[in-house]
Amino acid sequence: MAMCARLCGVGQSRSCRRRQQQQQQRDADPEVEEHIVPPEAGTEPPTLHRLLDLPPELLVEIFASLPGTELPSLSLVCKKFRQILNTDTIWRRRCGEEYGVCDNLRKLESVGASCQDLYIKRVDPRVRSGRFVKVLPDYNHTEYQDIYTCLLHRYRHILGLWQPDIGPYGGLLNVVVDGLFIIGWMYLPPHDPHVDDQMRCKPLFRIHLMEKLATVKCMYGHKGPHNGHIQQIVKKDEFSTKCIQTDFHRMPGGRQEEFRTWLGEEWGRTLEDIFHEHMQELILMKFIYTSQYDNCLTYRRIYLPLCAPDDLIKPGLFKGTYGSHGLEIIMLSFHGMRAKATKLTGDPNVPAGQLTFDVDLTRSVQLPDIENQHNFDELSRIVLEIHEQVQRDQQHPERREERAEQGAGEPQPGPSHHREPERRVENGQPAAGSATGSEAGQPFVLPIGVMARNESYPRTCRMCFYGIGQIAGHGFTSPEQTPGVFILFNDDCFGFIWLELKSFSLYSRIKETLQNAEAPSREAFEEMLKNMQSWTT
């Protein structure tokens, strides 16, 4: 602001006040001669340009390129600056560059219609269009300056990726600027066991301007938007939501109708379609536990894992099968020569925030030929041999260091240097189970007796590694780590065989774009993973 004051010739600058005093003296005594120092030969006299002398359209362009947080201070410099900063074009550009707002407030036929269809009809298709006007804000007299200052800047701290505190179940919330709204979208896995389907999402809350005031609406339930509240907690990277009208969540048929509706949305089926008694108990338990919150939740910020050039595949979020618990969301991240999968949604056995499996990328697993892959005992023998070697190395670390020194000249199997399956030739043709190239892969089939929720898994894999998976009793009691096999099918799909459970989990990448989810640094991401485990321990 001081620099702007010196440029425009007003404000608290000493040189500005000195020039004003000299001008007043000349006006009072016109006979006083002004001493002008002639310029040196060959030089042009200096020309003073003030920021105020620039045309208004150029000032608008300059001010529109400044951060929106600096504009209120700039308006205090002088009256002309304050008048120019009332130009809505400046604030429209700041809303677009800083928060991605691209809708035109004047085109209500496009903005209003999309908001109606997206945020009202999706919640309750039975609502008639005549009622839309009552719940949508009136943007005829709304300015982008109000959008920026009263909505976007005020609630900027809640934009990003969050995990709701719903006990062991967790969740995935992405708060984004969507049109002229701030929307909290809850991402849900597809219906079990269709792991390749797209994610489902539903709005939990919506924030918009109503007469220059930010209004929070709860979107939970089936009666349309109703009043809610958002509170920023004193702790860093946390906030909470509270519904003020929880009666909007109730249904005329009582809890039984609410349960049947929830079951159809959550699982895509009715209770009569689920014959497994244990699975029925798990489903009913989850409904009772999650419905008691009534959308009054606390959220903690999470980040997407950072990428590195030597990663085995691109890290990110995946949806996978977990037996009777249905589909769950995990986060795959790489830490040197290890790959870790952390649950974002969990279950009463292994809750959200806990490690689900850990893969050692230095210990590849050579699968038997396709005929012997049906034999579970053969696969178990191979993996248990590696498991025993790992335990011996943990007891005697010096032995592993000696082997590392002996094999220092050989590339270790890992993200960048993995050992391809041996190529055997029989009668001039590659034998079964051998790879002809990195893209050909190796035939793969699940051993007999291994349970899989989804039988449509790929029949070829790139490589396999030894890993340990975490299992526990109900309530996360007696957790233990058991050996398993990590199978990489392609860049977007992998699996994990839990030997002790004789169970197979299939994972598929979540390809939906999540906004404002990048970690500021690797240290911040590591700290987040550490905190996630403490949330549910």
Nearest to 486 by CA among 353, 341, 375, 343: 341
pLDDT band at 40 (very low <50, low <70, confident <90, very high): low
Which tokens in the block code for residue 30? 């016109």
Does 359 reside within a domain? Answer: yes
Residue 146: CA count within 13 A, CB half-sphere: 15
Tell which residue, 434, 324, 419, has the closest CA to residue 369: 434
How high is the pLDDT of residue 25?
63
Q: Are residues 362 and 488 in the same domain?
A: yes
Any domain includes 31: no
31-45, 87-101, 169-183, 480-494: least confidently modelled range: 31-45
Same structural domain for residues 371 and 329?
Answer: yes
Same domain, 284 and 190: yes
Judge whether 217 lies within some domain.
Answer: yes
In CATH, what number is assigned to the domain containing residue 78?
A: 1.20.1280
pLDDT at 419: 40
Do 87 and 140 belong together in one domain?
A: no
Q: What is the mean pLDDT of residues 299-303?
A: 94
So what's the pLDDT on residue 417?
Answer: 39
Banded pLDDT at 534 (limits 50, 70, 90): confident
Residue 104 lies in a domain: no
Kindly state whether residue 514 falls inside one of the protein's structural domains.
yes
Q: How many domains does the chain have?
A: 3
Domain end point (choices 293, 324, 344): 293
Task: Show Cβ contacts of residue 203 under 8 Å, excluding neighbours closer than 6 positions.
Answer: 119, 122, 123, 183, 184, 185, 186, 219
The last residue of a domain, from among 293, 318, 351 = 293
Confidence of residue 234 (pLDDT cuts 50, 70, 90): low
Mean pLDDT, residues 293-307:
91
Asked if residue 18 is part of any domain, the answer here is no
Average pLDDT score over residue span 209-228: 83
**Rounded CA gap, 499 and 449, in Å?**
11
Q: Tell whether 228 and 354 lie within a shared domain.
A: no
Q: How many Cβ atoms from other residues are within 10 Å of residue 422's Cβ?
A: 10
Say whether both 65 and 179 belong to one domain.
no
Q: At what angle do helices 376-395 and 397-406 cross, to 10 degrees?
A: 100
Which residue did the predictor score with more confidence, 42 or 121?
42
336 and 466 assigned to the same domain: yes
Name the helix (H) or strand (E) containing 467: strand 463-473
Distance CA 137, CA 244 (A): 19
Average pLDDT over every residue of 22-36? 55
Render pLDDT for 5-19 as a digit per residue (tens, 0 to 9).
444 444 444 444 555
- Residue 91 belongs to what domain range? 53-99
pLDDT at 87: 83
In this structure, are 335 and 478 located in the same domain?
yes
- Asked if residue 271 is part of any domain, the answer here is yes
Both 213 and 82 in one domain: the answer is: no
pLDDT above 80: residue 537: no
Phi, psi of 27 (to 5 degrees): -65, -35
- Most confident range (mean pLDDT) of 249-263, 356-370, 396-410 is 356-370
Least confident of 12-21, 252-261, 520-529: 12-21
Closest CA to 486 of 499, 459, 467, 514: 467
Stretch among 191-200, 213-222, 409-418, 475-484 having the lowest mean pLDDT: 409-418
127 — phi, psi (to 5°)? Answer: -70, 135
148 with 200, same domain: the answer is yes
Domain boundary among 293, 324, 354: 293
pLDDT band at 352 (very low <50, low <70, confident <90, very high): very high
Q: pLDDT tens-digit profile of 362-401?
A: 999 999 998 889 999 999 999 999 999 999 888 877 666 6
Asked if 217 and 270 sit in the same domain, the reply is yes
Predicted confidence at residue 481, as pLDDT, reads 94
Mean per-residue pLDDT for 191-209? 90
Same domain for 445 and 339: yes
CA–CA distances in Å: residue 462 to residues 330, 364, 381: 21, 11, 21
What does the radius of gyration of the chain's CA atoms come to, in whole angstroms?
32
Does residue 25 lie within any of the structural domains?
no
Q: What is the pLDDT of residues 331-347, one digit of tens each?
A: 999 999 999 999 999 99
CATH number at residue 332: 2.40.128
- Taking only the tens place, the pLDDT of each residue in 420-468 is 434 333 433 433 333 334 456 899 999 999 999 888 899 999 999 999 9
The pLDDT, as a whole number, for residue 14 is 45
- Which pLDDT tens digit goes with each residue over 101-151? 765 554 433 333 333 333 333 334 444 443 333 344 545 557 888 888 888
What confidence score (pLDDT) does residue 104 get? 56
Residue 393: helix, strand or coil by DSSP? helix
